[in-house]
Amino acid sequence: MHITLRQLQVFEAAARLGGYTRAAETLHLSQPAVSMQIRQLEEQAGMPLFDQIGKKIHLTDAGRALYRHAQDILAQVQEAQLELEEMRGVRRGQLNITIASTANYFAPKLLAAFCQRHPDVKVSLDVSNREHILALLNEADKDLAIMGRPPEASDLVAHPFMENPLVVIASPAHPLARARRIPLARLAEESFISREAGSGTRMAAERFFGEAGAHLSTAMEMSSNEAIKQAVQAGLGLGVVSIHTLEMELVLDRLVILDVEGFPIRRHWYVVHRQGKRFSAVAQAFLDFVMHEAETLV
């Protein structure tokens, strides 16, 4: 058999992620390229490795046997890469990082500063929502994530590095725009534009209202902070967002932060990784950089 390392990488990703499409997205390949690699591997093996049932794929007995060996081989290759990177130091290497969409307002500034110090480092950046980030970390596809606090019951380690205050925003024309010390009960009468269910910001806001005996009424759900800000600016309701998303809108007087009792909600940004993860020199350098310099830069 003449199996290539690329074929094993594609096969392992398809088996682990349960499909060719997700494997293609993870490996930055086209789906036909993934299908071709799997087909060539099956020709080498002389038997099918997957069964196709509807739109889902399932490992055959031969596939399960090869999957165990593929995991071992790829783990050994990764160990070799890490040892070589440690010998080279931080001069070169790859940083695989994922960030929450809200963190995208400041994370590029951190990455730019880090890359200025280490110009030969290559960065793979994924911007996504909370649920996808947790999935990526659990699948060990990423070195680090920048996000809100992950679930307590997980094998993830979270290092707080910067405050992330959540504030209530409104259109400058809203009746509450110039009010002071607005009671939380008054906001329960208003409609809110919220992120999708599962968003860290939404969960924090709903928990805050609930603990105060109030109810946050969601009139619309939006999949991005930009959409929320546009809807609030148009007068469709109020919003709860991270203050880090508002720099431009506040300067241009397109939005205002309401003076609400109990706000801002005090949260933190965290840099997160799997427990026991072995870091490359580059990933360790970025973790140290974020912990010691992020708050000053942002």
Could you check whether 5-86 and 89-163+268-297 share the same CATH topology? no
Pull the structure tokens for residue 166.
């959540």
Please give the Cα distance from 240 to 246 (Å, whole number). Answer: 11
pLDDT band at 182 (very low <50, low <70, confident <90, very high): very high
pLDDT at 88: 60
Residue 160 has pLDDT above 60, yes or no: yes
Domain 5-86 fold is Arc Repressor Mutant, subunit A (1.10.10)
pLDDT at 90: 59
- What are the pLDDT digits (tens) for 127-136? 888 888 888 8
Q: What is residue 248's three-state secondary structure?
A: helix
Across the chain, mean pLDDT equals 88
Long-range contacts of 12-18 (CB under 8 A, 24+ apart): 12/67, 12/70, 12/71, 12/74, 14/38, 14/50, 14/57, 15/50, 15/59, 15/63, 15/67, 15/70, 16/139, 17/139, 18/56, 18/57
pLDDT at 113: 93
Pull the structure tokens for residue 203.
């969960």
| Residue of 251 and 198 predicted with greater confidence | 251
Out of 52-56, 167-171, 186-190, 232-236, pick the least confident.
52-56
pLDDT at 86: 60
The position carrying tokens 């086209």 is: 30
- What are the pLDDT digits (tens) for 74-118? 888 877 876 676 656 556 678 889 998 888 889 999 999 999 988
pLDDT at 153: 67
pLDDT at 140: 64
Task: Find all residues with CB under 8 Å of 236, minimum gap 6, and list them.
Answer: 191, 193, 219, 220
pLDDT at 130: 82
Determine the residue type at 98: T
Residue 282 has pLDDT above 80, yes or no: yes
Strands 144-147 and 238-242: unpaired
> For residue 258, which of 174, 163, 165 has the smallest C-alpha distance?
174
CB-neighbour burial class of residue 259 (10 A; exposed 0-12, middle 13-18, buried 19+) = middle
* pTM confidence score: 0.66
pLDDT at 77: 85
pLDDT at 64: 92
Determine the residue type at 39: R
Look up the CATH architecture of domain 166-257. Answer: 3-Layer(aba) Sandwich (3.40)
Superfamily of domain 89-163+268-297: Periplasmic binding protein-like II (3.40.190.10)
